[in-house]
Amino acid sequence: MQLKTAVSARSASPWSSIRSLWFPAIIILFAASPAFSDDIAKGSSGWQQRCAGIRTSYNPQTELRSDLLTLETNDPRWPAFLAWVQAQQLATSTLIGLRTSPSTDAGKGIVFRWAPGTPWEQEVVIPFGQALAHLLVEREWRDLDFPQFFTSRGGMYGINLAERLFLLDPHSLTPWQQFFQAITAPSSPSAPLRSGRLSAVAPDGQSISMTFGANRVVPYSAARLSLDLRSILSDCSVYSFFQLYDQQHGAPPVASQQSPAPAASSPKAQSAVAVTPGRTVYDRHCSGCHGVNGDGKGLLATSLRPPPRDFTQGLFRYRSTPTGQLPTDEDLLRTVTAGLPGSLMPAWEPFLNEAERQAVVAYLKQFSPRFAPATPRDVLPLPSPPAATAEGVAQGEKLYRDSGCGSCHGDTGKGDGRSGKDLKTAEGNPIVPRDLTNKWSFHGGHTPQDVFQRLSTGMDGSPMASYRDVFSPTDLWNLIFYILSLSPPERPQLTSPSPAG
């Protein structure tokens, strides 16, 4: 569930210079696309009637699937298919709202309208996890993008949308409902930000560019785009592509002895892990970033640095247990419930009830053999902080300098220390030391007790060691009060760089 900032490219499409290399057959495919009338049904049953009896080289012996798009990204038809998808404007979408009313989690999420104005037009409810990853990572929505909504609600801090709405109310979806009502209103200036379209396709079809809003260009892999296309298309609904492809390539559709295209199977279908409530929640909301196998390699996280947490390693930073020990279930539940401030790991309390959050905690532990029933977990005591004094802060500053904290976090605490430039996680990914002058970015929280726990337990999987046996409790509190003194008393507000909102 951890979400990080995606690579942003706001320049022209990277494929604009190589469009001239596309083979002429694709251009002919565009021109040969048949016109559709308004009476074509948009549902699966309508497509099923229309494609009944059609045979192509893709399905020489069977009916086309009306429930699934089985065309794989390694199929030789794939590059031409994406060019056809772009020409038909199938990969064009608009965010239209929030759906929270269904009694089951499966019917809840963020609603997108795909392929508007075409025979393929339909509304799709994207699960909260996948939709949030898309909005926060790929579109990079921040409070600064919506000043008309946030200015009157306490101002803007330059943080991601999920964290800002969490600050309004950490326990309910009310801020989310208000936000989506505001940005989807007819008079909202945010309308351009809600749009997205496929803007360029590489000749081999293995990478594409998506444009969101007016000028945010985001690279997608073929597998990532396939995730979206499978939510709106089936083999049956794209039967005209298979026909056109055969026409261009001279393939004899019925005479072919090719076996019927197999149904696309997902890793979830192949997994031997039993379907449990926790797995259902994880697959819908967490697998997009953390991966179906819990290895941090979800389709929505391919450009994230560092990648989302790899649960198979069994290394967790935000714990109440000593270094080297696993977190307690309460530790994991706290992270799932409240998220990680200053990161793109959202708080899940507004979206998942407590039973669902507990279930997903139980499920994610199955990814690592370290979570065995006999594994000891000793919770370290978390004392109440003493009163902060000027003398204690001064002593903390001395400890900060004498103990070498500045070598990573910098002499002034901005995270720019010389030794911090080469730091890596346990997985070998680069990691940047925390900027201590912005306590609101502390992922584990910024209260004195939050920081005390981090310094006492260490952050397994990162270079941040435990100082439990290095400093006395008094020295540790003095160091903490100095660190917190580096941030201003109030969270700084920022001004939006754009008029949209």
Percent of the chain with pLDDT over 70: 85
Res 275: pLDDT = 77
In whole angstroms, give the CA distance from residue 57 to residue 246.
Answer: 7
Residues in the chain: 501
| Chain CA centroid to CA 109, Å | 14
The CATH class of the 269-367 domain is mainly alpha
Position 376 scores a pLDDT of 79
Taking residues 358-378, what's their average pLDDT? 91
pLDDT at res. 184:
96
Looking at 309-405, list the stretches that DSSP marks H as alpha helix, in order from N- to C-terminal side: 329-338, 354-364, 390-402
Higher pLDDT, 10 or 361: 361
Terminal-residue alpha carbon distance, the chain: 27
CB atoms within 10 A of CB 188: 18
Amino acid 369: pLDDT: 93
The confidence score (pLDDT) of residue 27 equals 40
pLDDT tens track for 423-437: 988 888 888 999 999
Contacts 24+ apart (CB under 8 A), 349-355: 349/170, 349/171, 350/165, 350/166, 350/169, 350/170, 350/171, 350/172, 350/173, 350/175, 350/176, 351/108, 351/128, 351/173, 351/285, 352/105, 352/281, 352/285, 355/277
CA atoms of 121 and 254, how far apart (whole Å): 30
Q: What integer pLDDT is reported at residue 310 of this predicted model?
A: 93
Please state whether beta strands 195-201 and 92-99 pair in parallel, antiparallel, or not at all (unpaired).
antiparallel
Q: Fold identical between 269-367 and 390-485?
A: yes
Please give the C-alpha separations between residue 230 and each of 223, 444, 470, in angstroms, as whole numbers: 10, 37, 54
CATH superfamily assigned to domain 390-485: Cytochrome c-like domain (1.10.760.10)
Is the pLDDT at 201 greater than 80? The verdict is yes
Q: How far is it between the farthest Cα atoms of the chain? A: 89
Band of the pLDDT at 204, cuts 50, 70, 90?
A: very high
Tell me: the pLDDT tens digits for 398-431? 999 999 999 999 999 999 999 888 898 888 888 8
- Determine phi and psi for 94, rounding to 5 degrees: -140, 130
Which is it for strands 122-126 and 216-221: parallel, antiparallel or unpaired? unpaired
Confidence of residue 105 (pLDDT cuts 50, 70, 90): confident
- Which residues pair with residue 160 across a beta bridge? 142
Q: Is 199 helix (H, G, I), strand (E, B) or coil?
A: strand
User: Could you state, in order of their start, the residue ranges of all structural domains in the chain?
Assistant: 16-249, 269-367, 390-485
Cα four-point dihedral sign 93, 97, 100, 103: negative
Write the DSSP assignment of 81-142 as a string of letters.
HHHHHHHHTTTEEEEEEEE--SSSGGG-EEEEEESTTSTT-EEEEE-HHHHHHIIIIIS--B
Q: Which of 194, 183, 195, 196 is nearest to 501 (CA)?
A: 183
- Candidates 8, 181, 192, 162; CA nearest to 94 is 192
The residue with greater pLDDT, 304 or 94, is 94
**Which of 94-108, 251-265, 451-465 has the highest mean predicted lDDT (pLDDT)?**
451-465
Residues 6+ apart with CB under 8 A from 466: 322, 323, 455, 456, 457, 458
Q: Which residue has the higher pLDDT, 268 or 100?
A: 100
Q: Where are the alpha helices (DSSP H) in 153-301?
A: 161-168, 174-183, 222-229, 239-249, 267-270, 277-285, 287-290
pLDDT > 60? residue 26: no
Contact 283, 293 (CB under 8 A): no
SS3 content of the chain, % helix, strand, coil (to 5): 40, 10, 50
Contact between 299 and 288 under an 8 Å Cβ cutoff? The reply is yes
For residue 368, what pLDDT is reported? 94
User: The pTM is what?
Assistant: 0.85
Q: What is the pLDDT of residue 274?
A: 67
203 close to 24: Cβ distance less than 8 angstroms:
no
Q: What is the pLDDT of residues 238-277, one digit of tens each?
A: 999 999 999 998 765 554 334 444 443 344 444 445 678 9
| Residue 217: band (very low, low, confident or very high) from pLDDT cuts 50, 70, 90 | very high
Name the pLDDT band for 477 (thresholds 50, 70, 90).
Answer: very high
For the stretch 133-171, pLDDT in tens is: 999 999 999 999 999 999 999 999 999 999 999 999 999
Lowest mean pLDDT among 106-115, 296-305, 433-442: 296-305
Rounded-to-10 torsion of CA 80, 84, 87, 92: -110
pLDDT of 7 above 50: no
- pLDDT at position 410, please? 95
| pLDDT higher than 60, residue 492 | yes
Q: CB–CB of 205/74 below 8 Å?
A: no
pLDDT at 219 over 60: yes
**325-342 residue pLDDT tens:** 999 999 999 999 999 998
- Average pLDDT of the residues of the chain: 86
Residues 373, 378, 382, CA angle at the centre, nearest 5°? 145
- From residue 155, alpha-carbon distances to 147, 442, 493 in Å are 8, 20, 6
* Residue-level pLDDT at 498: 54
DSSP-assigned letter for residue 345: -
